[in-house]
Chain A
């Protein structure tokens, strides 16, 4: 099951806080108990909870595919799976009641050519998607601050 999940791990997916945390969770959380009880956070609520994140990701993926910089990275992926995982990851890093079950960021991107320009392009598209959902700029930055350190694992081309 784990192997199957790993094989679907998308290009350029933004994951939970650090590679170590992600892999630790992936190892300790049984696949069957997907949503352990965890206090919801103000940021998670600002994004409209899980429903809001699903809406955000639906639009985010459309934009990622349309953007000439990010499109080539996401066209070959299982986009439905990527969106599901992004919802879980964003929910998790915001302190919402979710667990990210995908591979850690480092191994997920190890075989891909991802530059800092690619990483920044994804951030820009995410900002556009968050703008479209009417998410306040201050809340956007709180989320980005949790995602940005992943650049160390995601960027593979220095």
Chain B
């Protein structure tokens, strides 16, 4: 998977060189930014837009790096995407999650968690636009609609023993449908995504749960709003509901609400200094993340992402 990511990054860079003269023609910011899972959209949610600057008949690419930090955790993400004819998007992302507080789990049972453990997750995404034009169909309510999947593979390192205890799997696939509409006269973009998933904390804590936790899949809604201040400045907010598969298992294991999971939220500002670069700064509230090892507090903090696209 790492090789794949590297290959895609190199491929994207190669495309950038060969197509530098052939301008790709999306309007500013209408390809979205790179979400934490690598799909084009907001920061937390995939949108129905196809990533890169490529519009109909063109091929483009994008690459991004994201850093987010909360009271107890930190995560770096990098990845790349290819947009094909404003119809198909292929994306790869690698998440590097600093799970240092999980060391406290050794006090619950002899899990053998090593200090400074990181959880790595690779996400491979495919998205296909099926109808509509989010930007130009400004005389109808019809949104742009896309369907997508994200195949996720997580490497827990010394936390494998914890994953085994929880009965979570190390890979899973999210399916989603997204509808994106720019109300152009008002400068307001609305996205709604419905995701089918069995991921815990987006997959960083595996997929599904041993009994009596929830092992089945859930449909969860996600909503993003963005308001255009200028053609290259947008502000917005996101809300992403997540399953709460592990809480009941934690309860049964005597951990109380120690494994509870909450929705993710953020407010953001995105800026595109030119057609090829966008920078997104957000304040994210990720709710509880393994509250049993983090004094049961909410995890909130900044989210900074930079994207290069062509």
Encoded as 1 (CB less than 8 Å from any A CB) or 0, chain B from 131 to 153 comes to 00101111110000000000000
A120 within 8 A of B: yes
A124 within 8 A of B: yes
Encoded as 1 (CB less than 8 Å from any B CB) or 0, chain A from 132 to 150 comes to 0000011001101110110
- A17, A115, A141, A148: the one within 8 Å of B136 (CB): A148
A33 within 8 A of B: no
- A115, A148, A158: the one within 8 Å of B135 (CB): A148
**8 interchain pairs, CB-CB under 8 A:** A117-B57, A120-B26, A137-B228, A141-B185, A141-B228, A148-B136, A148-B138, A149-B138
Contact B56 A145 (CB under 8 A): no
Contacts of B135 in A (CB 8 A): 148
Assembly CA distance A142 to B57 (angstroms): 28
Assembly CA distance A119 to B24 (angstroms): 12
Chain A interface, DSSP helix/strand/loop, else mixed: helix
A116 within 8 A of B: yes
B235–chain A nearest beta-carbon distance, Å: 13
Encoded as 1 (CB less than 8 Å from any A CB) or 0, chain B from 213 to 247 comes to 00000000000000011110000000000000000
B101 within 8 A of A: no
Q: How large is the interface on B (under 10, 10 to 19, 20 to 34, 35 or more residues)?
A: 20 to 34
Contact A120 B25 (CB under 8 A): yes
Q: Which residues of B contact A (CB under 8 A)?
A: 23-28, 55-58, 86, 133, 135-140, 184-187, 228-231
- A69, A117, A138: the one within 8 Å of B55 (CB): A117
A41 within 8 A of B: no
Contacts of B230 in A (CB 8 A): 137
Assembly CA distance A123 to B138 (angstroms): 14
Chain A contributes a number of interface residues (CB within 8 A of B) equal to 25
A149–chain B nearest beta-carbon distance, Å: 4
Contact B25 A151 (CB under 8 A): no
Contact B56 A151 (CB under 8 A): no
Assembly CA distance A69 to B25 (angstroms): 10
Assembly CA distance A120 to B58 (angstroms): 13
Contacts of A148 in B (CB 8 A): 135-139, 184
- B24, B57, B231: the one within 8 Å of A157 (CB): B57
- Beyond A116-B57, A120-B27, A137-B229, 17 additional contacts (C-beta under 8 Å) are A115-B25, A115-B56, A117-B56, A120-B55, A121-B25, A124-B28, A137-B187, A141-B184, A142-B185, A145-B139, A146-B138, A146-B185, A148-B139, A148-B184, A149-B139, A149-B140, A151-B133
Contacts of A79 in B (CB 8 A): none
Assembly CA distance A141 to B184 (angstroms): 6
A45 within 8 A of B: no
A14–chain B nearest beta-carbon distance, Å: 12
Assembly CA distance A106 to B184 (angstroms): 23
A127 within 8 A of B: yes
Assembly CA distance A148 to B138 (angstroms): 6
- B23, B139, B184, B187: the one within 8 Å of A117 (CB): B23
B224–chain A nearest beta-carbon distance, Å: 19
Contact B186 A116 (CB under 8 A): no
Contacts of B56 in A (CB 8 A): 115-117, 155, 158
Contact A141 B186 (CB under 8 A): yes
